Amino acid sequence: MKRRDRFYLNLTLILSLGLLFSSCSKDEITELQPKVQSTEALNTKTTNNAGVLMQAFYWDVPSGGNWWNTIDSKVSSWSNAGFNAIWLPPASKAQNGKYSMGYDPFDYYDFGQYNQMGSIETRFGSTTELQNLINSAHNEGLQVYADIVINHNSGGASENNPYTGTDTWTDFNPLSGLFDRNYNDFHPNDIETSDLGAFGGFPDLCHKKTHVQDWLWNKSNSVAKYYKNVMNFDGWRFDYVKGFNPWVVKEWNASVGGFSVGELWDGDVNYLNWWANEANSSVFDFACYYAMNDAFDGNDLTKLNNNMMWKQNATKAVTFVTNHDTDEIWNKILAYSYILTHEGYPCIFYRDYEEWLDKAKMNNLIWIHNNLASGSTSILYSDNDEYIARRNGWNSSGLIIYINSSNNFQERWIETNWSSSTIKDYTGNSSWEPVTQSGKWVKIQAPPHGYTIWSTK
């Protein structure tokens, strides 16, 4: 007989002992059950659940200029599911024209209306289709975040460069007539040999140049203000921020406002937090990403005790399970159950939601995030196979998340914030509806290779 079958056969007996357990003291319970870890809150800040971010693309989405229309057809359902924003790929014309994913930018003001780089439309569509998508998203209550690539450029013509003594591909004369640039605007130049990092051999923009600052964020028709005021983007995802100093993002944000997040690909929490504070921006929580990979694929849930950006600075942490550049975590549904119940701003990858995972389970987790997951976090228990944490509640009653990576059903006594209250599992993975004791303790369970999420009825 399977463990699960034995478990349900004994369910009636367990429930019949409820009155006996309810008369036990906390000390008596912990003598019978393994003690939990300290319930000290990891972060004293509470976060307002603003929603969930959708990364609305993946690498090499279908070419042919129809991607904006594809996303346009989905924004209503995404809004209904509980997303609050979408992140689009780099939207302007790049060197590879209709074949480019946008990370080799040429003309920041060509969204698919000029015949250059071998095409009029971008890989994703036309300017009109992009504007229609943004309008549709706004009508559905969704914000739209632009992917901003300002470390490097591509597609310039060759010119003699006195700073290198060679010809360089640094002569940019886009058909939009806006933000022309030459060797003076790239590294090396008369004021700076290099900044923090070049990428892929592309010409590396010098952000200390007045001409570059004016066209990126200072002028009334700068890239930042054009994206904000003409194209109506609401926020920014900054690509490869390791390549330049954080003051660049800070200046951009001061110029136009809006949400921003930086791609600082590093697992060092202190570095992530330093950058976020210096840039006045959120940052992707790569420390959390690496810890989840070790925890869920390495079969050691104690790795979730590691320090992460959301634990150090939750209001500036964007958590994620995968993205267009990296897809290492295989136990994805457990990872999503983690980021959608913990602090930080969770980002969901398009293909995970639309193609690879159970959408009903994802929608359930999104609902739980938006309705139950608030307040500070306390880790109640962890070992190789089990992890239990409590969100202590802010404008809702909070929750308990129980993740079980073992091959068997697991049960454990834990301390809640609820006294003499009926609770239930909001995932439907357990049919139990136990009553917490007057001392707030209760036994909960989780299925093998699964999770349960508990809160008051």
Q: Which residues are annotated as a binding site for Ca(2+)?
A: 151, 214
CA atoms within 13 A on the CB side of 341: 30
Out of 239, 343, 386, 415, pick the active-site residue.
Answer: 239
Residue 108's closest CA among 152, 63, 68, 64?
Answer: 152
Residue tagged 């090499």 (tokens)? 60
**Residues, the chain:** 457
The Cα 435–Cα 439 span in angstroms is 11
Count Cβ atoms below 10 Å from residue 391 Cβ, excluding itself: 29
Q: Please state the three-class secondary structure of 303-329 as a single string.
A: HHHCCCHHHHCHHHEEEECCCCCCCCC
Is 414 strand, coil or helix?
strand
Q: Which residues pair with 136 in a beta bridge?
A: none
Whether 263 sits among the annotated catalytic residues: the reply is: yes
User: DSSP label at 290?
Assistant: H
Determine which helix (DSSP H) or strand (DSSP E) holds 451, and give its type and residue range.
strand 450-456
| H-helix segments, 58-156 | 67-72, 75-81, 127-139
Binding residue ranges: 151, 214
Out of 140, 180, 263, 297, pick the active-site residue.
Answer: 263
Determine which helix (DSSP H) or strand (DSSP E) holds 83, and give its type and residue range.
strand 83-87
The Cα 413–Cα 25 span in angstroms is 13
Query: Please, what is the Cα angle at 387 between 386 and 390, to 5 degrees?
Result: 145
Residues assigned a catalytic role: 239, 263
